[in-house]
Structure 1
């Protein structure tokens, strides 16, 4: 070997050898990624099924379509409607559970679900419905559920006698409904108002209706 050949540098190939391509493994049931994916899919399916069942699991309950006062007949036309609600509570009356003689035991407002505790039998409510023709209009905003006092105005004075003064007939009457304005028997205008009268005051109220004096309802500012 010549001296030139001995002195020539030798370059070694330092590039690492490329490993032979490995064969892709097919996922197996023991692969944790596959198992985790199946668990998530199962949970999503179960959650969707629960949501569908929960949405379908409803029952019809009663809702008030108008304001009512104590003693009002809950089976009367237009008083109640049905809405779907989720079960699990006995606080409200469900369809089919309303007694035939059901009345409200307290004032209820339109849009309110019918509470079980506000329903009673007609014989249990010591109130009687009486329609009055009152001589003057009620203050604005007065309606069903408001408490009023009934006053009788004195009749026209007779010559040589005092005109007298207004007298209270009954207190704590409940307004059931307010009708339209009409003409009174003694002239002028009147308003027809249905009130709920305690049984022990019915005689006094009917006596006042039969008298010649005009009747006036005075709100007490209370309601139930």
Structure 2
């Protein structure tokens, strides 16, 4: 996958305290272990904590949410068994605000829109299909997007998720004719060199489960020419 996967020496830590840690995930990192047997980001973070704090024995780390392997950006982990259920509740009750940036093919006719689909997941293909109307075994999916910049051949979308379905952003944008750059699985015509896609978990805001203060985190964009053009 990615040429530069995360390890304990190059981990991009965006925020850390006694209760939680937030990482800027690289394309190619898997958040939790899977059938590939590749080292997951969760284990890399454990190694980082063990080294940094000279912890003997096992390090506790709770996975709060996930990002697809080719996606970059914010991933939040709980550092204590006390914080994990509280963070899980924040995400389950949609108290966490998640903003994504996506570079899509061409220029959407609507500069701002709400997409509502009914998603059906196919586990064998590891793919989700977006339907306009409710179908058997489907789950409702809602997102809001705004075009915030236009580049040559691409548009930069800011996306706020209302639901969190499998491959939701990728599938919904593809279904309206604007696949994400590099996303072969959902209709883009060629892959990116690092096998990632131009979808980035940009911002996360929520009330800290212990400190009860608003925490707002922004993940810097990956270092490539297209993302750099979005920042200019």
Fold match, TM over 0.5? Answer: no
TM-score of the aligned structures, taking structure 2 as reference length: 0.25
